[in-house]
Every structure is written in C-alpha cells, then in structure tokens.
Amino acid sequence: MADAPGGMKRFYAILIGVAVVGLGVLGVLLARPKTVSIPANVTIQASDTAGFRGYIKGSADAPVEITEYADFQCPYCQTFDQLQLPAIKQQLIDSGKLRWRYRDFPLQQHTFSRLAAHSAACAEEQGKYWDQHRRIYDGQQDWAETRDAGPTFRQYAGANGLDLGRYDTCMQTAKYAGRIQASYDEGVQVGVTATPTLLVGGRLYQGRLDSDAITRLVDSLSTR
C-alpha cells in the first residue's frame, strides 16, 4: 500500500506528458494551412474581370498582341514556357514588337491546374506573378503527381518572398476562382480546345510553335 502514492504520481506524470504531446500535435495541425481547392464553373461576377485582361508582358504600344491559352499542368505548356518564351521575350517583347497576354485555360483532366493558376494570381497581388508563374512551370514534375500540390505552391511563394499570411488568406478564400473561370470561358468562346493555343491576328495556332515561327508571324503582321 505504501507504493500507491508513487505509482499514482507516475501515472499522472505520464498522463500529463501524453496531454502535452497531444496539445503540441494539435497545435501543429491547427497551424498548418488548410487543404485548398479552387472550384470550377463558378458564377462570374463583374468584379472578377473589371480592369483585367490577363497577365501581360510587353508594351501597350506594341503593334502585335499574342494571347496564350495555357494550363500549368500541361507538359507542352511547360516546354513552351521554358524553351520558347525566353527567346520570344528577348527577340520580340523586349524590342517593343510584341505584347504577350497569358490566359489560364485549366483542363478538366489536370487535377491541380486551377490551384496552380490561383496560386499565381495570389502572387500577382504582391507583385510576384511572373516569379510564381516561372517556379510553378519549372517545378511541374515535382507537384503534378503529388496528393496535394498546395504545400509545394506555398513553398514557391515563400521562396519568392511573398507574405505567406496574405498568400494563405488569398488561397483559402479562392477569391480568384471567377477570374480563372472567365479566362477559361473566353478560351472556349474563341475556339480553344487544347493547350497551348496561341491567338494571333484573329487566328488560332495550336501545337508547339517555336520562337522562329512566331518571329516570322509577328514580322508579317507588323508590316501589314
């Protein structure tokens, strides 16, 4: 009987230890950003598109505009963005010949394409759209087959110097779901069925046009 108080003390010590560990785990779980999904087919509000035509590179005075309809999870879009767009920027955009307009066209079969587009839109709030855009495409192999790409996109946001509190709020509220849907609807309206598709001079060009072909096309339109 004399050992009972010591045994009870050990029991309570263990119980307290388990509670402390449990509270710690709970704290970590509560602190972790919630899993985010971006809804499709949402009702588009006027505020979703007011003053927004897409993500633009180049001068407003450029004689030619190309609209790219693309999907962050599309491998061909990644290849185009990594291999062709840098040359297009150097040869045409930076020289003032071309204005580039990027529009999201998230394909239904790609699980994380809307989430990726929304991540980039939230980065745009903080002046980091093209930085996030580049990291998402560059890391496509790392996130496309994961169970949840959200944490990877958040890591990119942090690496790009974003305020993660603002970023998390932006993602969790899905505030740009309407903007993404409007972009997709625009693509459908003009006849886009695959990515990447370029709209140039009122005509659609599907497939992997290289920078040389685009340069010839822009030059032909500039001399008209």
Domain boundaries, the chain: 64-222
Q: Which residue has the higher pLDDT, 25 or 206?
A: 206
Q: What is the token pair recorded at 88?
A: 């297009």
pLDDT band, residue 223 (cuts 50/70/90): confident
Cα gap 46→43, rounded to integer Å? 10
pLDDT of 29 > 50? The answer is: no
The class that CATH gives domain 64-222 is alpha beta
Query: What is the mean pLDDT of the segment spanning 150-167?
Result: 98
pLDDT at site 105: 98
pLDDT of 100 > 50? The answer is: yes
Closest by CA position to 219, among listed 68, 63, 57, 61: 63
Q: What is the DSSP letter of 89?
A: I
pLDDT at site 2: 47
Sign of dihedral through CA atoms 54, 57, 61, 63? negative
Closest by CA position to 183, among listed 36, 37, 42: 42
Sign of dihedral through CA atoms 66, 72, 76, 81? positive
Query: What is the mean pLDDT of the segment spanning 116-122?
Result: 98
pLDDT of 1 > 60? The answer is: no
pLDDT tens-digit readout, 49-80: 999 999 999 999 999 999 999 999 999 999 99
Mean per-residue pLDDT of the chain:
89
Q: What is the token pair recorded at 78?
A: 């990644």
Rounded to two decimals, the pTM is 0.84
Q: What is the token pair recorded at 50?
A: 């007011």
pLDDT at site 157: 98
